[in-house]
Structure 1
Amino acid sequence: MSEINEDLSCPQHEEAHTKIVYHVCNTDARANFVIRCSDTDIAAIMLGNMHHLKNDDLHVWILTGTGNNQRYVNISSIYKQLGPSLCRSLPGFHAITGCDYNPAFFKKVKQRPFSILKKKKEYQQAFLTFDTLNLIDDVDEEERVFNIVQRFICDVYNVPGVMDVNAARLQLFINTYMVCDVNEKFMQKNMKNFDATNLPPCKSELRQQFRRANYIASVWNNASAKMINILNPENYGWTLEDDKYHFHWFDGDQLPDFVSQSLEEELAKKPEENTDEQDDDLDIQYQDRIDDELPDFNDDDNED
């Protein structure tokens, strides 16, 4: 005969990720807990909640892998080695750099961002505040933490000393395509191979990524609690359409007005306006370049 332990019941938790962590944190016993999973989210959430364990003699392990590749990961040992500050910042860090509910930055894996996070306490403190930061009630605090996150992203894209992602985008572009002298034509640069996905997200995109990460971390960082304060997703980077939530990628226009107008004017040109076959060939080449580059702009919006 089975029974329900009300102390370990957490019906408000929607995902197994947080339910597992809740059960571990609220078991008061000297024991070894083994969590069988292959999900990085659970490791980040567990490390972020180790300070909530009721018994200091409780040891947590994760069993991962399959077959002969199975291995035990000592979460308690990792927590002691990394320290409380870094571990408590991991849910916010993992949420903004890419997880099941938030897109990753294109071609940016976790190793470099994590090495930067380890070195700077300021970044750790910023991610640690994600579980308490209410963007609706304290706009000034949101802006302060968001500016720290901007500097973190600039470091990730190897643009140190820059505090604004839009400035970092411009700097990376200039490093590659700046003309050598005032007489050099800009269009002589090899623009066809320019990959906009190598740039960091613009400020408008990053703000929505930041808000989604705050929402996700507010759930993860409170996984040890029976009742989780659920925020409104529509205020944190999602939109509700046909009873389904979709990413709200950014506010404002996708391209500056003058760029959109320039592209429209070029596309609207009629072939008869060309005076010879050479002009026709140039227009075709230019049209091919536009067709090649437009998907890059779209990809940049779909990959933060």
Structure 2
Amino acid sequence: MGKPTWVKTCYDLANHFLHVLDCKSQGFHEVHVVFDRYDIPNSLKERTRNLRLGDHRRLAYNISDEAIIEKVTLKQLLNNQDNKQRLTLYLASHILKHRKESEKIYVTTLSEECKSNKLILDHLNSTQEEADTRMLLHALDASQRGATSICIQSPDTDVLVLALWCYKDLCPATSMLVGTGGLRRTIDLGPIYDALGSQKASALPGFHVLSGCDQTGTFCGKSKISCWNTLQKADGDIVRAFGNLGNTPSIQEDDVSELERYVCQLYVPGTTISSVNEMRWFLFSKHQYTDEKLPPIKATLVQKINRANYVTMIWKQCGTASSTLPPPTSHGWRLEGDRLLPVPTTVLPAPQAVLQLVKCGCKGSCSTMICSCRKHNLKCITDMCTCEVACENRIVNIHTAGDDSDDDDDVLET
């Protein structure tokens, strides 16, 4: 909504917010304003939010009617999680206070609570963290109460994906208002759902999470369009595997295998290779990819699938106000202090000897601890180190012409 230059206090900002809200809700009988929550410890969203904020100073500001914010930009105000929590509560209270006598129905969230100027909606009190899922909770409830037309306003792709997944339970005339300024447009969900079909619509949440969302990350070098094009060409078993993500806390091994096959096809369209480990070797041997652009090893992919299953499970419970979820630490995350971090893999990507490979490029005699080989109590190896002939740390007679003994081979492999 921005912060105009005439805004001097938080009260001015709240009035501006209310004006923007009234402009966007013209022609609607009932308006729902849904905020994210910022008071949940060990949040999956916390890492993403911190990355977005960067290293900027995160000052706390007083949020009240008289608080002076004339010289504070909106970005500075939102750079602190506590500010966000206090500001959302302040704006929600402002809506209820100043639209108390309005003929239009206003509904807003205040952390876990849901309040209205006219309705009692205690059943919409929710433990959900993100507005993305909570908006669908409100839309589904409005449909059940007989709404004939619903417009969801959000710039977030996650909301569009969830709305299409929920579409069969929403009123037929459900649309989304997306974009800003001259790029703002209304999208009717019905034609998109019909074009996708029920099976692909069911697969959308799992696909969107696994191919890259805030909590799961992307496949290096693979855009969302590339991922979608691969899904479009995939067979029914792969589509069903995406649709099964989030249905249960534990994903079936057959679904893991189908998703692994999908990843192989993402890297080499039309391939018959179904193992990511084999695909890594195939691409590496063809010198087609640098290491970071190879597909993940199987153990890494399994952790990514576990995280995708967990996030999709949260999304698919968007119609439930309060739900009990298993701890994320058993689904691909680990707790480090008060932060949740992804588990990259449960096995080493290469043998320990390779990971600890040391070689030197000394220009002298390798007689001091400057030599990385000597520093690690290792001998320089002719075939790997680029040190000079004068090296005093070299292995002598590693391999001589005509000598192919097993002992020599063992030395070379060490």
Taking a change above 3 Å as real, the CA distance of residues 270 and 228 of structure 1, as seen in their structure-2 partners, is: same
Which of 227, 231, 239 is the matching residue for 1:124?
A: 239
Specify which structure has the bigger relative contact order, considering alpha-carbon pairs within 8 angstroms and separated by 6 or more residues.
1
User: Compared with structure 1, are the counterparts of its residues 225 and 279 closer, same or farther at alpha carbon in structure 2 (3 Å cutoff)?
Assistant: closer
Q: TM-score scaled by structure 1? A: 0.76
Structure 2 equivalent of residue 162 of structure 1:
273
SS of equivalent residue, structure 1 residue 133: coil
**1:73 match: secondary structure:** strand
Q: TM-score, normalising length from structure 2?
A: 0.57
Q: CA 1:195–1:48 in 2, change beyond 3 Å: closer, same or farther? A: same
Counterparts of 1:197-208 in structure 2, within 5 Å, are 197-208=292-303
1:71 Cα deviation after fit: 1.2
User: Equivalences for 1:1-304 in 2 at 5 Å?
Assistant: 1=100, 2-3=117-118, 5-6=120-121, 9-27=124-142, 28=144, 29-53=146-170, 55=171, 58-119=172-233, 120-135=235-250, 142-158=252-268, 160-176=271-287, 195-261=290-356, 263-264=357-358, 266=360, 268-270=372-374, 280=387
Quote the offset at 1:211 in angstroms.
0.4
For residues 147 and 70 of structure 1, what CA distance do their matches in structure 2 show? 41
**For 2:380 and 2:152, how far apart are their aligned partners in 1?**
70
Q: 2:169 corresponds to which letter in structure 1?
A: H
- Give yes or no for contact 2:249–2:310 (8 Å, CA) kept in 1: no
The 3 A distance-change label for structure 1 pair 36 and 253 is same
CA contact (8 A) 2:230 2:265 kept: yes
Q: What do residues 110-161 of structure 1 show as CA deviations (whole Å, max 9, x unaligned)?
A: 12221222332212211111122332xxxxx622111111000000011611
Q: Secondary structure, in 3 states, of the residue corresponding to 2:387?
A: helix
CA drift of 1:238 comes to: 0.6
Q: Structure 1 residues 254 and 72 mapped into 2: Cα distance closer, same or farther (>3 Å)?
A: same
Which letter does structure 2 place at the counterpart of 1:20? M
Residues 225-248 of structure 1: CA distance to partner in whole angstroms, max 9, x if unpaired? 233341210111111121221111
Please say which structure displays the higher CA radius of gyration: 2
- Would you identify which runs of 4 or more consecutive aligned residues in structure 1 move more than 3 Å? 265-268, 270-275, 278-282
More displaced 10-residue stretch of structure 1: 265-274 or 5-14 = 265-274
Greater share of helix residues, 1 or 2? Answer: 1
Larger mean CA deviation between 197-206 and 58-67 belongs to: 58-67
Q: How far did 1:176 drift?
A: 2.2
**CA distance 1:273–1:33, shift in 2 (3 Å):** closer
Distance 2:380 2:359 in 1: 13
Query: Letter of the aligned partner of 2:152 in structure 1?
Result: I
Cα shift at 1:64: 1.4
Equivalent position SS for 1:49 = helix
Structure 2, unmatched stretches of 5+, are 1-99, 101-116, 361-370, 390-414
SS at match of 1:269: helix
* Counterpart Cα distance in 2 of 1:279 and 1:48: 59
Distance of aligned partners of 1:268 and 1:114 in 2 relative to their CA distance in 1, 3 Å threshold: same
State the distance in 2 between where 1:111 and 1:273 align. Answer: 48
Identity %: 26
Q: Aligned partners of 1:273, 1:14: CA distance in 2, in Å?
A: 56
